[in-house]
C-alpha cells in the first residue's frame, strides 16, 4: 500500500471514484520513507527533512559523476509533466540515471491520451502499472494529492498549481545548508509571493527552523494571508515590505522569484507588476558580504546579468543541488535506502 497524509485539497477525489482513506497518523511514531508520497512540506517533520538532506549529501559524489551507483537498478521512474519544466524534469531524469534507474517520459501532453479526454485519475492508475514511482507536475491546485489517491506507487509532486513544490523546497533547504546556514537564518523572499509555489512550500519548511522571514513584493503580489497566519501561529517573526533597498543589509539569504505570468487571470495585471522588483549590482553594494542569492529559476528580468559574476549568486549551483536531493527522494521512496 502507498501511504500519504491528507491535508486540504481543492479537487473532489470522490468524483473519480476514489476511496478516500486517512493515513495521517502512520508516521507519527517512526520515520519511514518507503512507498511514501511526497506531496507537501507540511507532511514532513524537521527530523525527517534533515534526514533527507543528510542522504542527499552522501549521494553528492554520485550526482557529480565522481562515483557510480546501481541503487535503482531495475527501477523505472515515470515523469508526467503537464506544465513546462527544464530543471525539475531533467534533474529527476539525471537523478534516476545516475543511480542506474530508467525513465519513462510521458512526453508532450499533445502526444498522449490526455488529448483524447482521459482524466488524470485514469492516467495515474495506468502509469502505476508501468513504473515504480511517478513524478507529477500539473497546473491544478491539489492535483498531486488527488493523484496519490489513485496511485499504487509513490507519487512525487513536481509542482501542482500555485500551492506546493516540495522537491524544490528540499533542494532550497539543501542549498541554504551548504552555502549559508539553516540555524538563525534571516531570509527575504521576494517577487511573486502570491502565485509562487516555491515560496509557499519554503515558508512551511523554514517555520520548522524558526527562521526570521521578510516578504518583499508589490502589494498586488503579497504572500497569501492564510500562510502568514499559519506562520504567526507558529511564532515565526515576519516582516512585509515592497522595497529590496530597505532590507538588503539585514539578511543572509535573498530568495528571488519570477512573476508567474501564466497564473494571472488578467494579463494586464501581469504587465503592471512584472518589473517592480529587480536585483542589480547597485543594490548589492549595501548587502552583507556573505549574502547568498537564490532563485528557483527560470529568471526573466528580476536579476540583472551583472549579478551572476558576484560571489552572492548561488542560483546555478542551487540548480545542481536538485540532483542529489532528487536522488535521495527517489531512493528513499523506492526503499533502496532506509
Ligand atoms: C519553479 C516552478 O516551476 O514553480 N521552477 C522550478 O521548478 N525550478 C519556479 C518558476 O517557474 O518560476
Q: pLDDT by residue (tens digit) across 142-192? A: 999 999 999 999 999 999 999 999 999 999 999 999 999 999 999 999 999
* Per-residue pLDDT at 102 exceeds 90: yes
How sure is the predictor about 120, in pLDDT bands with cuts at 50, 70 and 90? very high
| pLDDT higher at 114 or 222 | 222
* Per-residue pLDDT at 7 exceeds 50: no
- For residues 177 and 315, state if they share a domain: yes
Which residues have C-beta atoms less than 6 Å from ligand 1?
87-88, 159, 165, 168, 197-198, 258, 260, 296-297
How sure is the predictor about 30, in pLDDT bands with cuts at 50, 70 and 90? low
- For residues 172 and 210, state if they share a domain: yes
Residue nearest atom 6 of ligand 1, based on CA coordinates? 296
- For residues 257 and 306, state if they share a domain: yes
How sure is the predictor about 118, in pLDDT bands with cuts at 50, 70 and 90? confident
User: What is the spatial distance between Cα 13 and Cα 44, in angstroms, rounded to a whole number?
Assistant: 23
Ligand 1 mutation target, pool 88, 169, 260, most atoms within 8 A of CB: 88
- For residues 194 and 103, state if they share a domain: no
Task: Domain count for the chain, please give it.
Answer: 2
Q: Which three cell numbers stand for residue 211?
A: 527562521
Judge whether 11 lies within some domain. Answer: no
* Per-residue pLDDT at 22 exceeds 80: no
- For residues 184 and 126, state if they share a domain: no
- For residues 111 and 153, state if they share a domain: yes
- For residues 170 and 312, state if they share a domain: yes
- For residues 152 and 180, state if they share a domain: no
Of the residues 42, 87, 125, 276, only one is catalytic, namely 87
Judge whether 6 lies within some domain. Answer: no
Task: Report the CATH number at residue 211.
Answer: 3.40.50.1370
334 touches 34 (CB < 8 A): yes
Residue nearest atom 1 of ligand 1, based on CA coordinates? 296
User: What is the spatial distance between Cα 53 and Cα 15, in angstroms, rounded to a whole number?
Assistant: 37
Does the reported pTM lie above 0.85?
yes
- For residues 151 and 186, state if they share a domain: no
| Annotation marks residue 138 as catalytic | no
Judge whether 279 lies within some domain. Answer: yes
User: What is the spatial distance between Cα 95 and Cα 60, in angstroms, rounded to a whole number?
Assistant: 10
Domain of residue 311 covers 166-319
Residue holding cell 523546497?
169
- What residues contact 18, with CB distance under 8 A and at least 6 apart? 121, 146, 149, 150
Mean pLDDT in the chain?
Answer: 91
Judge whether 92 lies within some domain. Answer: yes
Amino acid at each position: 500500500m502507498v501511504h500519504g497524509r491528507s491535508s486540504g485539497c481543492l479537487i473532489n477525489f470522490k468524483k473519480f471514484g476514489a476511496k478516500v482513506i486517512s493515513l495521517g497518523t502512520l508516521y507519527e511514531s517512526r520515520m519511514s520513507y518507503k512507498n511514501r508520497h511526497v506531496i507537501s512540506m507540511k507532511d514532513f517533520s524537521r527530523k525527517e527533512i534533515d534526514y533527507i538532506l543528510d542522504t542527499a549529501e552522501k549521494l553528492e559524489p554520485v550526482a557529480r559523476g565522481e562515483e557510480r551507483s546501481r541503487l535503482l537498478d531495475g527501477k523505472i521512474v515515470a515523469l508526467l509533466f503537464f506544465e513546462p519544466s527544464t530543471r525539475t524534469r531533467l534533474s529527476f531524469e539525471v537523478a534516476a540515471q545516475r543511480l542506474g534507474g530508467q525513465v519513462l517520459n510521458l512526453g508532450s501532453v499533445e502526444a498522449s491520451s490526455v488529448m483524447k479526454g482521459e482524466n488524470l485519475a485514469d492516467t495515474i492508475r495506468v502509469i502505476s502499472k508501468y513504473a515504480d514511482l511517478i513524478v507529477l507536475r500539473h497546473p491544478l491546485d491539489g492535483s498531486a494529492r488527488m493523484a496519490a489517491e489513485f496511485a499504487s506507487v509513490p507519487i512525487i509532486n513536481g509542482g501542482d498549481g500555485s500551492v506546493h513544490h516540495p522537491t524544490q523546497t528540499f533542494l532550497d533547504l539543501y542549498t541554504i545548508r551548504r552555502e549559508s546556514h539553516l540555524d538563525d537564518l534571516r531570509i527575504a523572499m521576494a517577487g511573486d509571493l502570491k502565485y509562487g509555489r516555491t515560496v509557499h512550500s519554503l515558508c512551511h519548511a523554514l517555520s520548522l527552523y524558526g527562521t526570521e522571514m521578510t516578504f518583499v513584493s508589490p502589494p498586488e503580489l503579497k504572500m497569501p494571508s492564510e500562510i502568514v497566519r499559519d506562520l504567526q501561529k507558529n511564532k515565526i517573526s515576519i516582516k512585509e515590505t515592497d522595497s529590496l533597498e530597505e532590507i538588503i543589509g539585514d539578511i543572509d539569504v535573498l530568495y528571488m522569484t519570477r512573476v508567474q505570468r501564466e497564473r494571472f487571470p488578467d494579463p494586464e495585471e501581469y504587465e503592471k507588476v512584472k518589473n517592480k522588483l529587480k536585483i542589480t549590482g547597485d543594490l548589492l553594494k549595501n548587502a552583507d558580504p556573505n549574502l547568498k542569492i537564490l532563485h528557483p529559476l527560470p529568471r526573466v528580468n528580476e536579476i540583472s546579468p551583472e549579478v551572476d559574476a558576484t560571489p552572492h549568486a548561488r542560483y546555478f549551483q542551487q540548480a545542481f543541488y536538485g540532483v542529489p536531493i532528487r536522488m535521495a527522494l527517489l531512493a528513499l521512496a523506492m526503499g533502496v535506502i532506509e
